Amino acid sequence: MDMRGKTVLITGSTDGVGRYVAGRLAAKGARVLIHGRDAARAKTLIDGIVKAGHAAPTFYQADLSSMAGTRELAAAVKRDHQHLDVFVSNAGIGSQNDGPQRQESRDGHELRFAVNYLSGFLLAHLLLPLLKAAAPSRIVNVASLGQHPIDFDDVMITKGYSGSRAYAQSKLAQIMLTVDLAAELKDAGITVNSLHPATYMNTTMVRAGGITPMSTVEQGGAAILHLVEGDDVAGRSGLFFNGMNEARANPQAYDADARKRLRALSLELTGL
């Protein structure tokens, strides 16, 4: 896909792999909408892109640990734009951010489930009018190979909590959303795919977990860009990729009953 003039929203794009992808898309002539919580980080990204001779991205500041903050982000994007060619749901927190203890979002949900999954679920649905207006358009969910089946008797992991389990559950939920949305939007001209960009990229999230990086941000960014603009994935939907290669996710992702339960819960929690 020729990205010149295309409008792309990337959540969590003031740091890490999202930041890299934003820079690359700006260099290709896309109209880039960046998101984050830190205005200072956003300014350094924007300044760098402008210094390189490209159009300045538009920054949207929002806290995706809050349903209200997520709705405000969607409202701002809809206010400013008539269409959206690509939505990259990249914002997330790792297994150890702010410590290993169980944490809750502003709405009282387990924090990783709220930020990594629920915010993307809500944004995707609220932004559908813009994505439909731009069809053929794409949704890219940045997930992980780390996946843990959802225990529907304790989705918020109030018992036996671990950050790694919470993170892996949120990432599998993203993939389940991918499969569901792909089926829902198959006649709307919107493709929905998910991926594990690269293993333990050199990002703040990985370092916060005390993990020695194994991959570069550039490697992960290339995999995301493949789903954003690759001609070989045009018209293909509901897929999970490990880097550049199509792969299979945890079996629960392909369990229609589990996806139905997750969708019902998500609609209830987000108030859609």
Which residues are tagged catalytic?
Answer: 167
DSSP 64-110: TTSHHHHHHHHHHHHHH-S--SEEEE-----SSTT-SS--B-TTSSB
The DSSP element (H or E) to which 36 belongs, if any, is strand 31-36
Owner of token pair 């920054």? 59
At CA 33, angle to CA 14 and CA 65, rounded to 5?
60
Whether the CB-CB separation of 191 and 136 falls below 8 Å is answered with yes
Residue 17 tokens, joined: 């792999």
Cα–Cα separations (whole angstroms), residue 231 to 147, 202, 227, 236: 28, 28, 9, 10
